[in-house]
């Protein structure tokens, strides 16, 4: 056995792969250890070599597929798996969706120590391709553009991406830029409105020379400021009949079709009543709460992205909605509670106990939690339980098919014996 953290000399282990782990690797067992195998599929019988060894688990590389899984398919992308922006193209879509539900259950039981929580089948896409409304690209040493990968270091040059919405592909096809001082390029599109935007991030304030016959807006990300180069530094998108302004650096779900499903589910979870006050913690541009603002007495929101705060104000218009600029911890301190309903969209790293306690003191009867990946929910569950909430149901959403990420909506209900008096 090799030293911990180093690859041992053994090669040629034969293993049956049983399922998928969070992170996109298949799992099997050998020698008392769990093996994590990139680009394996549940049902594969493979010969592997260990690449990273630990006491109870190891990472392994496939040397040979001895018996392919019935769920294994031919990936349509010529860059797969060299570009690991996708991790699951080699697995049939139905199996991807089924495994994502199982992974949510596993994360809740193993990491959050919650058993018996109802996990619904994942909401899937009819067509799991050409859905992305945004993408980040990076300059390659050869002078082109590519995708920064997850399993392997470096940038993989690409000429196309099977996940790009046609509006993104249209932008990418007309790009012809000198990449010498380019750090990053972000493409955004309103897939329902036709809006298109290119955001440049460059060295030393370098401004690219721009020329296009298409009505594409361009902006320069200067860190603390965004400079409009052509048109306006934002796009608009229409979700569930409502238009949202989305600035160059504002967060927004990468899949507009799935975002619409998400709004329907969250509304059913909240079950708002006309006299309710709705809190939106981590509101972004207002996608959730402004979609429901006509169904409640008022909305109070918290957001720490300054561009998104401005978008929220524009998107709210004359509606009964206000936004507090600050982190969740700062903003929740300013909310005059209690509130009746709450939405929580935590940062990537999740929340801490203090934020959960502040939510508990505001005492919403229902809290709907949204995260772009289930790992955040597994992290935050203990704090929310300690703050007096009970997890009722989790709805996985396949927001990004072909990738390991699993978006989740979770319904929490407040444990209390009597309703607090309003201030």
Q: Determine the topology of domain 13-67 in CATH.
A: OB fold (Dihydrolipoamide Acetyltransferase, E2P) (2.40.50)
Residue partners of 317: CB distance under 8 A and separation at least 6: none
Q: How far apart are CA 49 and CA 26, in angstroms?
A: 14
According to the model, what pLDDT value does residue 144 have?
A: 84
According to the model, what pLDDT value does residue 8 have?
A: 46
Closest among 150, 112, 117 to 375, alpha carbons compared: 112
CATH homologous superfamily, domain 109-124+255-414: Vaccinia Virus protein VP39 (3.40.50.150)
Please list the residues that pair with 201 across neighbouring strands: 184
∠ CA 290-381-124, nearest 5°, is: 60
Torsion sign across C-alpha atoms 52, 57, 59, 65: positive
Is the previous residue joined to 81 through a cis bond, with omega within 30 degrees of 0?
yes
Q: How far apart are CA 308 and CA 310, in angstroms?
A: 5
Q: How far apart are CA 344 and CA 414, in angstroms?
A: 14
Residue partners of 300: CB distance under 8 A and separation at least 6: 277, 278, 279, 280, 321, 322, 323, 324, 335, 339
CATH class of domain segment(s) 134-237: mainly beta
Closest among 16, 14, 61 to 42, alpha carbons compared: 16
Q: How far apart are CA 391 and CA 409, in angstroms?
A: 11
Residue ranges of domains in the chain: 13-67, 109-124+255-414, 134-237
Residue reference for tokens 């939106």: 280
Closest among 300, 378, 306 to 343, alpha carbons compared: 300
Is pTM beyond 0.75 here? Answer: yes
According to the model, what pLDDT value does residue 152 have?
A: 62
∠ CA 54-57-60, nearest 5°, is: 95
Distance of CA 182 to the CA centre of its chain: 25
Q: How far apart are CA 13 and CA 47, in angstroms?
A: 5
Token readout for 122 is: 């994942």
Question: Are the C-beta atoms of 412 and 366 separated by less than 8 Å?
Answer: yes
Do 109-124+255-414 and 13-67 fall under one CATH topology? no
Please list the residues that pair with 210 across neighbouring strands: none
Half-sphere exposure in the Cβ direction for 17 (13 Å, CA)? 34
Q: Reduce the secondary structure of 261-312 to three states and give it as a string.
A: HHHHHHHHHHCCCCCCEEEEECCCCCCCHHHHHHHCCEEEEEECCHHHHHHH
Would you give per-residue pLDDT tens digits along the chain (423 residues)?
Answer: 444 444 444 468 999 999 999 999 999 999 889 999 999 999 999 999 999 999 999 999 999 999 999 999 999 999 999 888 899 999 999 999 999 999 999 999 999 999 999 999 999 999 999 999 999 999 988 878 999 876 666 889 999 999 999 999 999 988 877 667 889 999 999 999 999 999 999 987 788 777 677 889 999 999 889 999 999 999 999 999 999 999 999 999 999 999 999 999 999 999 999 999 999 999 999 999 999 999 999 999 999 999 999 999 999 999 999 999 999 999 999 999 799 999 999 999 999 999 999 999 999 999 999 999 999 999 999 999 999 999 999 999 999 999 999 999 999 999 864 444 443
Closest among 247, 206, 210 to 226, alpha carbons compared: 247
Residue reference for tokens 């997890």: 391
Between β-strands 33-38 and 321-325, what pairing exists: parallel, antiparallel or unpaired?
Answer: unpaired
């Amino acid at each position: 056995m090799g030293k911990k953290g180093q690859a041992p000399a053994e090669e040629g282990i034969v293993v049956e792969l049983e399922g998928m782990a969070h992170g996109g690797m298949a799992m099997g067992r050998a020698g008392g250890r769990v093996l994590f195998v990139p680009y394996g599929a549940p049902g594969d019988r493979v010969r592997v070599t260990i690449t990273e060894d630990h006491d109870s688990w190891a990472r392994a590389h496939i040397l040979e597929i001895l018996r392919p899984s019935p769920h294994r398919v031919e990936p349509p992308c010529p860059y797969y798996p060299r570009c690991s922006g996708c991790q699951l193209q080699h697995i049939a879509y139905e199996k991807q969706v089924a495994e994502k539900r199982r992974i949510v259950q596993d994360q809740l039981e193993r990491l959050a120590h919650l058993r018996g929580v109802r996990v619904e089948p994942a909401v899937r896409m009819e067509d799991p391709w050409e859905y992305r409304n945004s993408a980040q690209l990076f300059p390659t040493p050869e002078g082109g553009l590519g995708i920064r990968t997850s399993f392997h270091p470096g940038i993989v040059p690409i000429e196309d991406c099977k996940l790009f919405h046609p509006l993104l592909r249209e932008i990418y096809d007309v790009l012809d830029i000198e990449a010498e001082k380019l750090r990053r390029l972000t493409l955004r599109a309103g897939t329902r409105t036709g809006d298109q935007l290119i955001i440049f991030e460059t060295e030393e304030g370098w401004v690219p020379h721009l020329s296009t016959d298409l009505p594409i807006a361009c902006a320069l990300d200067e860190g603390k400021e965004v400079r409009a180069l052509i048109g306006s530094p934002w796009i608009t998108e229409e979700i569930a009949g409502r238009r949202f302004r989305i600035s160059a650096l504002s967060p927004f779900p990468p899949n507009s079709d799935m975002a619409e499903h998400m709004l329907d589910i969250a509304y059913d979870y909240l079950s708002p009543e006309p006299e309710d006050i709705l809190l939106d913690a981590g509101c972004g541009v207002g996608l959730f709460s402004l979609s429901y603002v006509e169904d409640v007495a008022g909305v109070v929101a918290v957001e720490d992205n300054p561009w998104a705060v401005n978008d929220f104000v524009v998107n709210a218009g004359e509606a009964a909605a206000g936004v507090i600029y600050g982190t969740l911890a700062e903003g929740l301190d300013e909310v005059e509670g209690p509130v009746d309903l709450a939405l929580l969209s935590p940062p990537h790293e999740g929340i801490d106990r203090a934020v959960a306690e502040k939510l508990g003191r505001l005492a919403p009867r229902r809290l709907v939690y949204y995260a772009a990946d289930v790992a955040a929910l597994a992290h935050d569950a203990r704090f929310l339980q300690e703050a007096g909430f009970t997890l009722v149901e989790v709805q996985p959403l396949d927001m990004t098919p072909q990738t390991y990420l699993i978006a989740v909506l979770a319904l929490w209900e407040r444990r209390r014996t009597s309703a607090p008096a309003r201030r």
